[in-house]
Amino acid sequence: MSSIVSVGTAVPPYLMRQEDACRLAGEHFEGTIENLAKYLQVFKNALVTERYFCVEPDWFASEHSLAAKNRLYLEWAERLSLDAIESCLEGAGVARDEIDYFVFVSSSGIATPSLDVTIINQLGFRADIRRLPLFGLGCAGGAAGIALCNSLASTRASAKVLLVAVEINSLTFQPDDLTKSNLVATSLFGDGAAAVLFSAESDGLVNILNSVSLLKPDTDHLMGWDFVDTGFRVVFSRAVPQTIMDMMPDALGKVIDGRNIGLEDIDAFIFHPGGKRILEAYEKILGRRREDFASSYGVLDRYGNMSSATVLFVLDDVLRKAGRRTGDYGLLAAFGPGFSAEATLVQWT
């Protein structure tokens, strides 16, 4: 068992209001998508008020090569990761040379050596730090990273493990993709990074009690990227919310199994807000109210869907809010490509 000591977050400087994003999409796709006004309703129904991009609005008006997009990804993923790490470590009062393991999660750009090497060099982490970069987990990446970091922290007394999840989703916009999936992604995606510090000692904000990872067979086509000449093209099936509903009972049942508690004993829900239909699926399957997912709704409203980093923003929001008592239980969950479910049970210290 390990504990979460601190969380830090960072977003890029360009604020995009949802009404402006809708207008820009309308101007861009006018004359190319039939019944465009109908499809632009996704912007109003996305439950997003604003989000942050690493590029200004004019950037979306022209085409860019995969190479140009990836250069921007490398620049901004590094910058946001550094800011999130600095915030996280400062909040914990932990020095850089105390970090033993570094788990880096991202699915919106490519680097070899992986970007964690650049970050390690920039921050002067120890040369013997153990690092593990993870790619391809998508929206489940932050939650999967938490489970992995808990396992790493449990292997060594007094270990300190750093998790970073960073996504620059704005750069994946495909100007010639006329599918509804592209419009849905355009209405939801934002950029951001989050860093989480774990300690092998139970001296943090919440203890991690158990984690579960599940794959549903023959669903790998439901979500992910198609890699095309112009970059990353989103794949998002209408079957995703129902698949989440199908997987949730098993995933959540397994994560609390043997703890002598039921779902009715959970005091806080730290769920990845993938979109309106996904949040509604959470409420329906758990028999809970919208208010029980206030942090998930709030993060979606202010930041959009930042893929792997989003659930860590929700975690940060939940930890900052008053009202939790020692012994309270929380469930953290996210779903992503595979199709996969990640769930973790935590308890306030």
3-class SS at 125? coil
Alpha carbons 245 and 285: distance in angstroms, whole number:
6
Nearest to 268 by CA among 320, 346, 204, 211: 346
139 among known catalytic residues:
yes
Q: Which residues pair with 268 in a beta bridge?
A: 330
Alpha carbons 120 and 160: distance in angstroms, whole number:
15
3-class SS at 242? helix
Residue with the two structure tokens 């790998």:
220
Tokens of 103: 């788990």
3-class SS at 218? coil
Residue 329 backbone dihedrals phi, psi, to 5 degrees: -105, 145
Catalytic: which of 22, 88, 139, 149?
139
Alpha carbons 186 and 172: distance in angstroms, whole number:
9
Catalytic residues: 139
